[in-house]
Amino acid sequence: MKATLQLQIGQSLTMTPQLQQAIRLLQLSTLELQQEIQEALDSNPLLEAADDDGEPAEKIDDTPIDYAAAEELLARESAGGADTETPAELDINSNEAIPDELPVDSLWEDVFSSGSANTGTGSGGEDDDNPLEARSAAPETLADHLAWQLNLTPFSDLDRAIGLVILDAIDERGYLMCSIDDLHSAVADPDNPEAVELDEVEAVLHRIQQFDPPGVAARDLRECLLIQLRQLPEDVSSRSDAMAIIRDHIELLGSRDFATLMRKLKLSEAGLKAAMSLIQTLNPNPGGRIGSVSETEYITPDVIVRRKHNRWTVELNPDNAPKLRVNANYASLVRRADSSADNTYLRNHLQEARWFIKSLQSRNETLLKVATCIVEHQRGFLEHGPEAMKPMVLRDIAEEVGMHESTISRVTTQKFMHTPRGILELKYFFSSHVSTTGGGEASSTAIRAMIKKLVAAEDARKPLSDNKIADLLLEQGIEVARRTIAKYRESLNIPPSNERKRLA
């Protein structure tokens, strides 16, 4: 074999750090984007937040970032391919999309604006104005709540030690996970096992069962509900009937065998309905309301959809990110023919600042383009609700906007749209389809909405079975299998028909 030299001409795309940054910004949520912008402001002296001061802004290079070519390169690299050559049909211009060196002798009012509102840098003095007491503290746990009550209860030293052992055996739901014998063994003295009587452990347990929340330290569901009923005043209507149902016939209650319950307890339908209403006020998970209240997290929409003059308009939320621009004072210090360390530092950060601004612009333009396309496809949903949702997959939007499916996936992940129907994630508008008898297609989201509507209008005495729901949908031209109905029903957290049965 003879070594030779060959000259070949071809196009190639290099996954530069700038292009990687653009792709990463594309998939960030609103909160993550604000954090990324703040980090960029802190690390790059050439980048600053701009005010609405009316200064003229120089238009930076608006050549769109070729996300499709980047996605293809990422897919090739993830598959282990080392060759970075791209086919000629990609027709990319690397020198324009990813300039090696951006011009510096220009007007330095390079401004990026996400909207007309001025939001600042996101690190203002609002937190400094709030008193320390207003800051969120760690939520109280069930163990802390019970220990606080134990310390306030006049117990002897032995009973307090027994109480601590009992509290350690209570799980986060509020149920006691050990038997009385196990608790007695845990507190008994090995040298003198008769020093602690079993009755004393039971007495301390009964005292703890009177703690807040009602029903805590119960050993099973029956005891939990009975504790709560015993704590009610004796003159509460249907209290005795409810206690009899829970104490003697909780299995019949679980299977909703109302006819047998009325026969065994000799209750009328009105009496059983009153007892059931009282039982429904009880809490089967007493520990759930202690320590489960977390700080409210609000969703800031990325896109706002409004109806103006019989048209649906789509615009970006102007409050999501601050306006950015290149710092004119620092940029004026850059000298073109100077290769000193200081000048190199300024030139590098100037290019990073300009690319960061361009990446944010491309991100917003891509998000707006995809959101507008989604609204065009789902006008029926916006006007008539979920039942009018059309089937749509990522490929449909990707082909229409001329992007890769993975790019559409990045754009729609953790991005939210504010619509008259509520704040919804962009992923919500994508769904699979089910064929109809007329040869068309129905969205799975629309079918879920129909199932929810049918269940809401059903007779509580005779709930609709999955087969019956399938038959009703078939009458509307939608052919869905029973197991598919069951899957959609479970995704809506709708119990099966035997668990939905109610007294009228």
3-state secondary structure 433-480: EEEECCCCEEEHHHHHHHHHHHHHCCECCECCCHHHHHHHHHHCCECC
pLDDT at 331: 87
As given in the structure block, the two tokens for residue 176 are: 């006691």
* Beta-carbon contacts of residue 34 (< 8 Å; ≥ 6 apart): 122, 320, 321
CA atoms within 13 Å, Cβ hemisphere of 381: 25
Q: Give the per-residue pLDDT at 118.
A: 41
CATH of 433-500, one of 1.10.10.60, 1.10.1040.10, 1.10.10.10, 3.20.20.140: 1.10.10.60
Task: Judge contact between 26 and 70, C-beta under 8 A.
Answer: no
Alpha carbon of 172 to those of 137, 147, 229, 287, 292: distances in Å? 20, 14, 21, 6, 10
Q: H-helix or E-strand containing 111?
A: strand 111-112
Whole-number Å distance between alpha carbons of 429 and 424: 8
Q: What is the pLDDT of residue 147?
A: 94
Helices within 191-311 (DSSP H only): 198-208, 221-230, 239-254, 258-265, 269-279
Q: On the CB side of 5, how many CA atoms lie within 13 Å of its CA?
A: 1
**Is residue 465 within 8 Å of residue 475, measured between CB atoms?**
no
Within 79-168, residue ranges assigned H as helices are: 94-97, 126-129, 142-152, 157-168
Domain with CATH 1.10.10.60 in the chain: 433-500
Triad 137, 286, 254: Cα angle to 5°: 150
Three-state secondary structure along 485-499?
HHHHHHHCCCCCHHH
Residues 6+ apart with CB under 8 A from 227: 209, 214, 215, 218
* Residuewise pLDDT in 10s, the chain (504 residues): 678 888 888 776 666 777 788 888 888 888 888 899 999 999 999 999 876 554 544 455 556 666 666 666 666 666 655 444 433 333 333 334 434 444 444 443 444 444 434 433 344 444 445 554 445 556 788 999 999 999 999 999 999 999 999 999 999 999 999 999 999 888 886 666 667 888 999 999 999 999 999 999 999 999 999 999 999 998 999 999 999 999 999 999 988 889 999 999 999 999 999 999 999 999 999 998 886 555 567 888 999 999 998 899 999 998 887 788 898 888 888 887 778 888 889 999 999 999 999 999 999 999 999 999 999 999 999 999 999 999 999 999 999 998 889 889 989 999 999 999 999 999 999 988 887 877 778 889 999 999 999 999 998 888 999 999 999 999 988 888 999 999 999 999 999 988 888 876
Alpha carbons 391 and 434: distance in angstroms, whole number: 8
> From CA 273, how far away is CA 415, in angstroms rounded?
46
Work out the angle at residue 192's Cα, subtended by the Cα atoms of residues 190 and 194, and round it to the nearest 5 degrees: 110
Predicted pLDDT at 96:
41
Q: Which residues pair with 325 in a beta bridge?
A: 48, 111
Question: Cα 119 to the chain's mean position, in Å?
Answer: 25
CB atoms within 10 A of CB 437: 11
Strand partners, 443: 433
Provide CB contacts within 8 A for 280, sequence distance 6+.
none
